[in-house]
C-alpha cells in the first residue's frame, strides 16, 4: 500500500473520525477529601479474577478446574463481555489457513455447548477450503478471508451467556455480579486482591493470585504496572463504538443484492455516508432475520475517558436510528426492519497494553514455538505462519501477584490487531487461570510458575500446544 510502506497494516477497515464538538470546560482543579475508612473483607480465595469477559471467564473456569478457590467479579449481569454484552457475536478465526483448529481447550468446549440453531458458520469439512465459489459465499458471511474458508462462527449472545455461566458454576467458580473492580489491594508492592464497589458499598477480596481481566487494564494500571496506551489511528484497533442489531430483516435478500449489484451497493454506502457522516455495512448474525452492525467505528476517542465514552454512546445510538431509516428506504431485505437491541457494553478495542516480562512483536511472526508457549494463534494472513503466544506476555515486568490476559496483554500495536480478538482472549485467559492456580497452590509468584507444569496443565484442559524443537 502506498500509505503503508512498511506493510504493517494487515487488517484494515473504514473508521470515522471524532465528530466536531463544543470545547470542553477546562479541567477543574478543586478537590474533596475522602475520610479514611476500614474496608470490610468480603471474602478470601486462592484466585480472584476481575472481569467476566472472554479472558476472565476462561481464567476463572480454568483455575477452578485445577482445584483453586476462585471468585469472579463482574460489573454486568452476565459473563462473556464483548462476545455477549458487546454484541461482538462474530467470533474471529479459530482455524489456521490450512483449516486446522488451533484455538481449542476452553474455546472449543464453550462453542460445542451451544445449540445448533445458536451458531452459524461453515461446516467443519469446509474449513481451509480455497474453492472460489465457497469462499465468496462464506466471505459475505464473515467466515472466509483471503479466499480461504475459516472457522469463524457467529453466535446467539444469550446462549453464549448461558453456556459461560453454567460452565463457571459447574467448575465451582463463585461469581459476583454487579460488582465493579475498583482498586488492587497492595502488600509489599505485590497485588494481594482487589477492592470492588457495589450496592453493598466498598469491599475487598483477598487472594493469593489476582487476574486482571478487565480488558482495559484497570487493575494493572492502578497497581503501578508499566503499560502502553499508544494506538495507530490508521487502522481500526483504537476505535470505539456501540454495536446493535435489527430484527425483521431478510439477510439472504440483502446479501444477494450486495453480491449481484455491487454498483448499487456502493451507491447506497455513498448515500449513507453523505446523510450520516458515519455509515456501515450490515453483517450476518446467527439468524437470517437478524442483522448485526459492529460499527461505524469511531476513531479519536479514549476508552479511559468517561466523557469520551459518553459521547461515543450518544453518537452510536443516534447512528443506529439513522441507519434504520436509510436501510428501510434503500436496502433490499430491510423494509420491515426494526430496532432490536443496542449492546449494553460499549465496544472498546484498545485502552491499555501491559508492558510485560516479554512482548509479542511483529518480529515474532516467524512460526517458531516459544519455550513458554501457552497457545497457538492463527496469523493475520496466509503469508504468515501461526503465532506462538508466550506466557511472559501475561506477566507484569516487575509487579508480583498479578496476571494480565486478554486484550491488554503485552504486545505491539500490530500484533494487538488480532491478539485482542475473542478467541485469543479465551486462549490467554485459560492460560492465566491454570497459571494462577499453580502459583496459588505452590505459594509462588506467577512469574515463578514452572512452565512445564503450566503446559502440562493446559494440555490436560485440551489446549493445543506444539512440541519444542529438539536441540541439534
Length of the chain: 472
**Cβ–Cβ contacts within 10 Å for residue 452, how many?**
10
Mean pLDDT for the stretch of residues 443-456: 97
Q: Is the pLDDT of residue 320 over 60?
A: yes
Determine the pLDDT at residue 12.
46
Determine the pLDDT at residue 350.
93
Q: Give the closest residue to 97 by CA, choosing from 463, 385, 459, 419.
A: 385
DSSP 8-state assignment for residue 24: P
Determine the pLDDT at residue 153.
97
Q: Give the closest residue to 428 by CA, choosing from 107, 84, 71.
A: 107
CB-based contacts of 398, cutoff 8 Å, min separation 6: 225, 226
Mean pLDDT for the stretch of residues 368-386: 96
- pLDDT tens, residue by residue, 96-122: 999 999 999 999 999 999 999 999 999
The model's confidence at residue 230, banded by pLDDT at 50, 70 and 90, is confident
Task: Count helices and strands (H / E) in the chain.
Answer: 11, 23
- pLDDT tens, residue by residue, 339-361: 999 999 999 999 999 999 999 99
Q: Treating both helix axes as pointing N-terminal to C-terminal, what angle do 451-460 and 422-442 enclose, rounded to 10 degrees?
A: 120
- pLDDT tens, residue by residue, 238-281: 899 999 999 999 999 999 999 999 999 999 999 999 999 999 99
The model's confidence at residue 430, banded by pLDDT at 50, 70 and 90, is very high
Give this prediction's pTM.
0.94
The model's confidence at residue 16, banded by pLDDT at 50, 70 and 90, is confident
The model's confidence at residue 188, banded by pLDDT at 50, 70 and 90, is very high
The model's confidence at residue 19, banded by pLDDT at 50, 70 and 90, is low
Q: Is the pLDDT of residue 17 over 90?
A: no
- pLDDT, averaged across the chain: 93
Determine the pLDDT at residue 143.
96
- pLDDT tens, residue by residue, 270-288: 999 999 999 999 999 999 9
The whole-angstrom separation of Cα 122 and Cα 144 is 9
Determine the pLDDT at residue 467.
83
Amino acid at each position: 500500500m502506498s500509505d503503508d510502506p512498511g506493510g504493517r497494516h494487515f487488517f484494515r477497515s473504514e473508521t470515522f473520525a471524532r465528530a466536531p464538538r463544543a470545547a470542553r470546560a477546562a479541567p477543574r482543579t478543586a478537590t474533596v477529601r475522602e475520610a479514611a475508612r476500614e474496608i470490610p473483607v468480603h471474602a478470601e480465595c486462592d484466585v480472584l479474577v476481575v472481569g467476566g469477559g472472554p479472558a476472565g471467564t476462561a481464567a476463572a473456569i480454568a483455575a477452578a478446574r485445577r482445584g483453586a478457590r476462585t471468585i469472579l467479579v463482574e460489573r454486568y449481569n452476565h459473563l462473556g463481555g464483548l462476545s455477549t454484552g458487546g454484541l461482538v457475536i462474530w467470533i474471529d478465526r479459530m482455524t489456521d489457513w490450512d483449516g486446522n483448529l488451533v484455538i481449542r481447550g476452553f474455546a472449543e468446549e464453550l462453542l460445542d455447548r451451544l445449540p445448533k440453531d445458536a451458531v452459524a458458520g461453515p461446516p467443519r469439512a469446509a474449513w481451509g477450503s480455497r474453492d472460489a465459489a465457497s469462499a465468496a459465499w462464506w466471505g459475505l458471511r464473515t467466515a472466509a478471508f483471503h479466499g480461504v474458508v475459516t472457522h469463524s462462527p457467529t453466535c446467539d449472545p444469550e446462549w453464549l451467556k448461558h453456556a459461560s455461566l453454567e460452565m463457571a458454576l459447574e467448575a465451582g467458580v463463585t461469581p459476583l455480579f454487579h460488582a465493579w473492580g475498583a482498586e488492587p489491594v497492595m502488600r509489599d508492592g505485590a497485588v494481594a486482591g482487589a477492592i470492588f464497589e457495589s450496592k453493598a458499598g466498598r469491599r475487598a477480596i483477598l487472594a493469593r493470585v489476582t487476574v486482571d481481566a478487565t480488558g482495559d487494564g484497570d487493575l494493572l494500571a492502578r497497581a503501578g504496572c508499566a503499560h502502553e496506551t499508544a494506538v495507530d489511528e490508521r487502522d481500526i484497533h483504537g476505535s470505539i463504538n456501540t454495536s446493535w442489531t435489527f430484527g425483521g430483516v431478510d439477510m439472504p435478500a440483502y446479501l444477494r443484492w450486495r453480491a449481484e449489484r455491487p454498483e448499487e451497493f456502493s451507491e447506497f454506502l455513498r448515500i449513507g455516508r453523505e446523510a450520516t457522516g458515519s455509515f456501515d455495512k450490515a453483517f450476518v448474525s446467527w439468524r437470517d432475520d437478524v442483522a448485526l452492525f459492529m460499527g461505524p467505528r469511531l476513531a479519536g476517542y479514549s476508552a479511559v475517558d468517561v466523557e469520551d465514552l459518553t459521547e461515543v454512546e450518544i453518537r452510536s445510538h443516534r447512528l443506529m436510528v439513522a441507519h434504520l431509516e436509510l436501510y428501510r428506504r434503500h436496502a433490499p431485505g430491510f423494509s420491515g426492519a426494526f430496532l432490536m437491541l443496542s449492546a449494553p457494553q460499549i465496544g472498546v478495542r484498545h485502552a491499555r497494553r501491559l508492558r510485560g516480562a516479554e512482548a509479542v512483536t511483529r518480529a515474532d511472526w516467524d512460526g517458531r514455538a516459544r519455550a513458554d508457549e501457552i497457545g497457538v494463534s492463527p496469523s493475520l494472513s496466509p503469508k504468515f505462519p501461526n503465532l506462538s503466544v508466550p506466557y511472559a506476555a501475561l506477566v507484569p515486568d516487575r509487579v508480583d501477584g498479578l496476571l494480565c490476559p486478554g486484550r491488554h496483554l503485552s504486545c505491539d500495536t500490530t500484533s494487538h490487531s488480532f491478539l485482542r480478538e475473542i478467541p485469543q482472549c479465551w486462549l490467554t485467559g485459560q492460560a492465566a487461570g491454570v497459571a494462577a492456580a499453580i502459583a496459588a497452590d505452590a505459594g509462588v509468584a506467577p512469574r515463578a510458575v514452572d512452565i512445564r507444569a503450566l503446559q502440562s496443565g493446559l494440555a490436560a484442559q485440551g489446549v493445543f500446544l506444539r512440541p519444542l524443537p529438539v536441540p541439534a
